[in-house]
A and B are shown apart, each in its own frame.
Chain A
């Protein structure tokens, strides 16, 4: 099997990583770079626990090869907070009790951040649609949706 050296920016820091062809972005983040905030749930693109931003768009990192990310910009849950201040979505999830077991939370946070980046004032339906690919086995959806609504209102540019 062939190996590749890729250059990739992760949470604002440039890294060079040597990887085999079959390593997923998820495996690279967790096993090579120790960024274990991103979770492995289904490994089939269904549960969303592994969601990260790839060039600003959310992807299931279990469904992307690391080698496909040459030159890409990745943001994981570890990269959401800036200068010790939580992202409004993170703060709202805490305030609304949107975390139960917490396994889905990193993916929920990334999907929600992506939603607010492309649609700063989503309706409840739009929030639910954006989170279709993020399963919460504790079924804590109502508080999660409430938190995203609240986060939208807390955006720095929100009135």
Chain B
């Protein structure tokens, strides 16, 4: 038997619509056999491996401003669907106001892959391992979506249904990610445990985010999102509640680590066992919270 380790792409038609409406119409008319194309860094791998057999790839990355990135000090950041991760990382606005997002992007694969990879593609692919999704969830992200009915906004926290599954429907095209302005004094970090130090998919990914908040009993809000340990990118809400209600201390962070471990629901796979993942969620959550705490107090 011959095994082709790197097959070429199967046959499909590449479609480049002139407008978003044309793209939405085509995708709505061809459900189950067409797919919007951004960077293609997931699509091409899955098509080569035979997991996806779409007849049409609809290139939506140069349509109606989808390649623009814009920061407004009043309303926040808009990252167009076609904006690649290297552009996000290099943006001074992102570095100053959304360092967690830059951190998460930097953890993805390699520089040359990030020249193509996009945050919106990472979100729409809905992998539980998606490195940038946790940051976008913690930063209260929303998607700007175009469909046959025009534009609407979809909050990220209700988007994910399962591995690779979202609430998006045929004809929906995400044109941008929108992130509100972060609260004053916020800090975040993304800790990614892979099989090697760089470039691999995560065994466990922990995004942590925190800021002073006078309405919380502890005076602070901390949020944790977990990658690769549940069917969807998971926000550990029990951690946020616990750390809002209890005085901040190393012991409180230890307890938060346990709560994160209880919240996750990992599987055994080629990258790691469920047992190992649970243990790492606990340890890395504590580590991430301590780092965020340290950064908040340094400001």
Contacts and interface: CB of A to CB of B under 8 A. Distances in A.
B152 to A, nearest CB: 28
Interface residues of B, number: 29
Interface residues of A, number: 37
Contacts of A35: none
B45 A22 contact: no
Q: DSSP class of A's interface residues: helix, strand, loop or mixed?
A: mixed
A92 to B, nearest CB: 20
A45 B6 contact: no
A1 B13 contact: yes
Interface in A94-119: 111, 114-115
Interface string B1-35: 00001111111111010000000000000000000
A60 B113 CA distance: 6
Interface stretch (B104-112, B131-139, B170-178): B104-112
Contacts of B16: 67
B38 to A, nearest CB: 11
A48 interface: yes
A51 interface: yes
Interface in A28-64: 40-46, 48, 51, 54, 57-60, 62-64
Contacts of B59: 68
Given A24-B9, A43-B48, A132-B111, 10 more contacts: A27-B8, A43-B6, A45-B41, A46-B109, A48-B110, A57-B86, A114-B111, A132-B110, A133-B110, A134-B110
Q: Please provide the 9 A-B residue pairs with the shortest distance between their CB atoms, ordered closest to farther.
A: A133-B110, A43-B6, A21-B14, A22-B9, A58-B112, A1-B11, A132-B198, A2-B13, A57-B115
Interface of A: 1-2, 4, 20-24, 27, 40-46, 48, 51, 54, 57-60, 62-65, 67-68, 111, 114-115, 129-130, 132-134
